[in-house]
Structure 1
Amino acid sequence: MNDNALRTIEAQIREQICAYCESNNVPGFVVGVYHAREQVIVAHGTANVATGAPMLEDTGFLFGSVTKVLTTTLVLQQVERGLLNLDTPVVKYLPEFTLAEPGAAEKILVRHLISHTNGIDADLFFPDGKGRDALKIYVERLAGSCGALFEPGEQLSYSNGGMIVAGRLLEVVTGTPFPDLLERNVFAPVGMTTSSTSAERAILRSTAVGHFPDPETMAAKPTDMFMLPDTWGPAGGTPIGTVSDLLAFGRTHLTGGVSPSGTRVLSAESTSLMQQVSHDMATPNVPPMGLGWVRYPFGDTTVLAMSGASPGGVSILCVVPEHDLVFTAYGNTGSAIMLHDQILQRLLREHLAVQIPTLIDEFEPDVDLAPYVGTYRSNQLRIDVTVVDGQLEERMSYEPADESQRQIFTAFAGGMTSAPPQRYVPIRPGLFAPAGYPLDAFDGYLRLLLVSYHDVRRGRARFRNGGGRLTRRV
């Protein structure tokens, strides 16, 4: 792709962003594309409707779960230095790590923490805590609050808890607080000069805030909570930076661990290991997992990706090694994830000439729905599945463990504690699509909207997987 082609991309993306944001009440959006030694950044709209501050090319935003790839990079650095071994039990380094289910923590290896195969049932566990002891507090409170969803390595379930435990593990073996380690070992060598982990530093420069739709007018309202507690730092609660910073990090993973400035951040072997398949659920709605990276197959092309929700905002980072491309973006409402998907597919189809096959060809109407009916639970989340008019109907609700958890979750979710009932139609046994969506909606990133059921025993599924997250039948 030459420079003229990149400028064409810039113009097309700018037009696409303007149209989407206007029709979907997205106040602001910023996107960056790097390809073949050239990059463009496009910003649009407003960073904060309360102040009217514009979204600029260098406006900062919360990375959200994109942080998980940064945390994984830190873990692999310590493996290279001999302080960690991926196949050693976590408790060897972190003896205080326990779960509510006796013996469960002892089976979890370091590898399981960063491959989302650990089974820690803590996806919505929000203990409050600030400062240098935040991750220590998190691990201490896991013991009496969270059990295990499955045996380590048995299943794949997107794991905030695993990444936070990995963050505490890093603190113990390095003797350095996680925020300091992130700044010293990733931000500095990569050249992420505008990144930080504190609201106090972010306020000194242009920083976007998230927004939620007003229930009555649907106009965007600023979030009441800027970031999650410090206890969620390694999973994505606190890191803040810019599109330029994430492009630099993505480029580091394009070039075998060497940053744009030429600094070695990670070995070529570790960088490659992160990109290799570590677990595959063999279902279209759960792409194969590497270490830190999710491996999205688009035909013969693999997109390494991670998206990140923050209170009222959503980010994404995609790296396409086969085509020397990095794409990253942030929108300050949750619905911006649709625009992320549209831009990614445009880049793949129109500018890289990637053939994206249809993921789902047709629906299968005569699927026995009985094995999937029941109640499924994970930490503070309940999903009731019934059959209505020949379709599955799911009712999802959040059941807080205490008042502190309720306050944090409801602020993170914009005041919602339950979702409207959702109908699903069968694609094949064990795989369902939300009713009303065209089949081609699932060809891209939004394949995560599909729901699958797993491990059917005696006519009853044991697990439900939605958005990469498992719940277990109760």
Structure 2
Amino acid sequence: MNNNALHTVEAHIREQAAASTHIPGFVAGVYHAGEQIVVAHGTANTATNAPMLPDTGFLFGSVTKVLTTTLVLRQVERGLLDLDRPVVSYLPEFALAVPGAADRILVRHLISHTNGIDADLYFPDAKGRDALKAYVAGLAGNCGTLFEPGEQLSYSNGGMIVAGRLLEAVTGLSFPDLLARDVYAPAGMKDSSTSAERAILRSTAVGHFLDPETMAARPTGMFMLPDTWGPAGGTPIGTVADLLAFGRTHLAGGVSPSGERVLSAESTALMQQVAFDMATPNVPPMGLGWVRYPFGDTTVLAMSGASPGGVSILCVVPEHDLVFTAFGNTSGAIMLQDQILQWILTEHLGAKIPALVTEVREDVDLTPYVGTYRSNQLRIDVSIVDGQLEERMTYEPADASQEEIFTAFAGGATSAPPQRYVAIRPGLFAPAGYPLETFDGYLRLLLVSFHDVRDGQARFRNGGGRLTRHVGE
């Protein structure tokens, strides 16, 4: 490949990061056809003014879900797990608040986000070796179901955490130890850990929240989520080089850059195949672990990851032998990551990205979508105001501990003003006031869809890949 081409990518990332004045620090890496670059810009921690360096560590957030899925497939290859067996056959204590519901969930449902576990904001605070055990024990009294397993797709933190506990049960190792043995070591992720105590021994970025009035960035008061959220993305920490190595492993049929096999070619391919498709533009088809983003004819295997005041992203583009990964230490960095990804696809690779949304409509009947929708500790009231849908989102914490953890994760802001939506077509809506090209890339997740209309009423609302269920007017 032409070295100058990747130098152009490096210069573009550096320029875009410098122009994003509301992001204290940004680090990104691109691997393409045998060449690799890493770019770092700004400050890793505004409290210390430590610089963001090419080897600065950061929380992976939900990018971890692809690592957890890789672990599950490794145990399938070893004969310790079967994707099509019920989870309770390995983990008899697994239960939900709906009697018998857990019995119908297969191992496959956990890693394809089709399990229906209603636990998206369930944050039990437990530490150490028994953290995942405590999480699973708490599900029975606190969390029900959104749908029957395999019926719908809803991004599932709970499913991945149950998968992490399942891995512990069948291997006898803790999730952090298993991750270190079966992913970090063979993939060559030499600076990765799951421990703040380890991370503090080297350069590590912390998240920040922007003051809404001054736009000044303040460091997060909570570095990471509780240990109970490890397999969903709470605790793993590493570098851009580590995520590039992991992404390259999935490009190369499961063989790491050092030549060590992490996963079989068959398992690697299975993760990339469509496991479920909601057939709506705001919810890309799901593989196992990977989300399959269609950018025109180009498929990007991706996962982004929120951490307290930060966001990471990992994108693998098999047909172009490319990996892109990045971290920014404010939540708004997802917009910069989306812009860079689209630039790499169009300008560097020459891919065509068609407009996802070309027009809005005023003739769509809004009445099927009105009502109250709920999921774990979240209520969304949908009404019609001035010919548009209006949504009011309310966080309803289950107890003081849940409220404390989620409030810290969100930087203190757990409520938002009402949001108006304009119709794109029946069942699909865009937030009002956004240019339509906003939704061409990763930020298509801002669109809202409604599903399974029966007797003139939608049963589900999907926002950000997550379902809420209609519960009344």
TM-score (norm 2): 0.99
TM superposition shift of 1:215:
3.8
- Return the letter of the residue paired with 1:123: D
- Residue 414 of structure 1 is matched in structure 2 by 411
SS of residue matched to 1:166: helix
- Residue 130 of structure 1 is matched in structure 2 by 127
1:5 aligns with 2:2: no
Aligned mate of 1:176, from 173, 176, 181: 173
TM superposition shift of 1:362:
1.0
- Residue 402 of structure 2 is matched in structure 1 by 405
- Return the letter of the residue paired with 1:260: P
- Return the letter of the residue paired with 2:155: Y
In the alignment, the residues of structure 2 paired with residue 422 and residue 75 of structure 1 have an alpha-carbon distance, to the nearest angstrom, of 39
- Return the letter of the residue paired with 1:355: K
In the alignment, the residues of structure 1 paired with residue 250 and residue 256 of structure 2 have an alpha-carbon distance, to the nearest angstrom, of 8
Alignment of 1:140-159 (within 5 A): 140-159=137-156
In the alignment, the residues of structure 2 paired with residue 259 and residue 228 of structure 1 have an alpha-carbon distance, to the nearest angstrom, of 29
In the alignment, the residues of structure 2 paired with residue 301 and residue 215 of structure 1 have an alpha-carbon distance, to the nearest angstrom, of 37
Out of 413-422 and 134-143, give the one that drifted further: 413-422
SS of residue matched to 2:36: strand
SS of residue matched to 2:85: coil
- Return the letter of the residue paired with 2:138: R
In the alignment, the residues of structure 2 paired with residue 159 and residue 313 of structure 1 have an alpha-carbon distance, to the nearest angstrom, of 20
- Residue 241 of structure 1 is matched in structure 2 by 238
- Residue 375 of structure 1 is matched in structure 2 by 372
In the alignment, the residues of structure 2 paired with residue 41 and residue 397 of structure 1 have an alpha-carbon distance, to the nearest angstrom, of 40
Alignment of 1:292-371 (within 5 A): 292-371=289-368
Alignment of 1:214-233 (within 5 A): 214-233=211-230
What's the Cα RMSD here? 0.6
- Return the letter of the residue paired with 1:76: L
State the percentage of identical aligned residues. Answer: 83
In the alignment, the residues of structure 1 paired with residue 97 and residue 354 of structure 2 have an alpha-carbon distance, to the nearest angstrom, of 44
- Residue 14 of structure 2 is matched in structure 1 by 14
Out of 58-67 and 213-222, give the one that drifted further: 213-222
Aligned mate of 2:466, from 461, 466, 469: 469
SS of residue matched to 2:38: strand
TM superposition shift of 1:38:
0.4
TM superposition shift of 1:418:
1.2
SS of residue matched to 1:187: helix
- Return the letter of the residue paired with 2:3: D
Aligned mate of 1:197, from 190, 194, 203: 194
- Return the letter of the residue paired with 1:127: P
- Return the letter of the residue paired with 1:120: I
TM-score (norm 1): 0.99
TM superposition shift of 1:216:
3.7
- Return the letter of the residue paired with 2:81: L
- Return the letter of the residue paired with 1:9: V
In the alignment, the residues of structure 2 paired with residue 395 and residue 218 of structure 1 have an alpha-carbon distance, to the nearest angstrom, of 25
TM superposition shift of 1:466:
0.2
1:434 aligns with 2:437: no
SS of residue matched to 1:338: helix
Deviations along 1:315-360, one digit per CA (max 9) or x if unpaired, are 0000000000000000000000000000000000001000111111
SS of residue matched to 1:225: coil
SS of residue matched to 2:39: strand
- Return the letter of the residue paired with 1:199: A
1:385 aligns with 2:382: yes
In the alignment, the residues of structure 2 paired with residue 267 and residue 60 of structure 1 have an alpha-carbon distance, to the nearest angstrom, of 28
SS of residue matched to 2:312: strand
For structure 2, the residue ranges without an aligned partner over 5 or more in a row are none
In the alignment, the residues of structure 1 paired with residue 398 and residue 303 of structure 2 have an alpha-carbon distance, to the nearest angstrom, of 29
- Return the letter of the residue paired with 1:334: S
In the alignment, the residues of structure 2 paired with residue 37 and residue 420 of structure 1 have an alpha-carbon distance, to the nearest angstrom, of 47
- Return the letter of the residue paired with 1:74: L
Deviations along 1:90-116, one digit per CA (max 9) or x if unpaired, are 000000000000111000000000000
- Return the letter of the residue paired with 1:5: A
| Structure 1 residue runs of 4 or more that deviate by more than 6 Å after TM superposition | none
- Return the letter of the residue paired with 1:95: P
Aligned mate of 1:111, from 108, 111, 114: 108
In the alignment, the residues of structure 2 paired with residue 102 and residue 416 of structure 1 have an alpha-carbon distance, to the nearest angstrom, of 35
For structure 1, the residue ranges without an aligned partner over 5 or more in a row are none
- Residue 72 of structure 2 is matched in structure 1 by 75
Out of 214-223 and 370-379, give the one that drifted further: 214-223
- Return the letter of the residue paired with 1:37: G
- Return the letter of the residue paired with 2:84: D
In the alignment, the residues of structure 2 paired with residue 12 and residue 300 of structure 1 have an alpha-carbon distance, to the nearest angstrom, of 24
- Residue 39 of structure 1 is matched in structure 2 by 36
- Return the letter of the residue paired with 1:325: L
SS of residue matched to 1:316: strand
1:207 aligns with 2:211: no
In the alignment, the residues of structure 2 paired with residue 286 and residue 278 of structure 1 have an alpha-carbon distance, to the nearest angstrom, of 13
In the alignment, the residues of structure 2 paired with residue 153 and residue 280 of structure 1 have an alpha-carbon distance, to the nearest angstrom, of 11
Deviations along 1:36-95, one digit per CA (max 9) or x if unpaired, are 000101000000000000000000000000000000000000000000000000000000
- Return the letter of the residue paired with 1:361: T
Deviations along 1:261-308, one digit per CA (max 9) or x if unpaired, are 000000000000000000000000000000000000011110000000
In the alignment, the residues of structure 2 paired with residue 198 and residue 296 of structure 1 have an alpha-carbon distance, to the nearest angstrom, of 31
In the alignment, the residues of structure 2 paired with residue 136 and residue 313 of structure 1 have an alpha-carbon distance, to the nearest angstrom, of 27
Q: How many residues matched?
A: 471
In the alignment, the residues of structure 2 paired with residue 362 and residue 217 of structure 1 have an alpha-carbon distance, to the nearest angstrom, of 35
In the alignment, the residues of structure 1 paired with residue 408 and residue 440 of structure 2 have an alpha-carbon distance, to the nearest angstrom, of 32
In the alignment, the residues of structure 1 paired with residue 379 and residue 48 of structure 2 have an alpha-carbon distance, to the nearest angstrom, of 38
Deviations along 1:431-471, one digit per CA (max 9) or x if unpaired, are 00000111111111010000000000111101000000000
SS of residue matched to 1:272: helix
SS of residue matched to 1:461: strand
